[in-house]
Amino acid sequence: MIKKYFGTDGIRGKVNGSKINGEMFFKFGLAAGTYFKNLKKSKQTAIIAKDTRLSGYTLEPALVSGLASAGMHIYTLGPLPTNGLAMLTKKNES
């Protein structure tokens, strides 16, 4: 079986190993940002929230750097419950 790191519940795995680290998150942010910029929508905004695990504080800057390198506008909200992020994302769609 092939090990997957990204699924419907986010990116999962051991942080700062060979697979999930700052470089991977930068590349993920760059790829995601490039994809969304190519959609040519009027808003190119990413809203980032996290839980309180230390890994979020180490990986978030790399993700933000990748997204910003692709030209996205980014809001970082810090720790926030998932339903709060969903609400803000929905409100920001219009």
CATH of the domain at 61: 3.40.120.10
**Position 6 in a domain:** no
Higher pLDDT, 9 or 26: 26
**Position 25 in a domain:** yes
**Position 22 in a domain:** yes
Domain count, the chain: 1
**Position 86 in a domain:** yes
Task: Dihedral sign for Cα 22, 13, 49, 69, please.
Answer: positive
List alpha helices for 1-94, DSSP H: 22-38, 54-69, 82-93
Residues in the chain, how many? Answer: 94
Q: How many CB atoms lie within 10 A of CB 22?
A: 17
pLDDT for the residue 22: 95
What residues make up the domain containing 88? 15-93
pLDDT for the residue 66: 98
How confident is the prediction for the chain on average, in pLDDT? 88
User: Whole-angstrom Cα distance, residue 69 to residue 34?
Assistant: 9
**Position 10 in a domain:** no
* pLDDT 10s digits, 1-18: 566 666 666 777 889 988
**Position 78 in a domain:** yes
**Position 37 in a domain:** yes
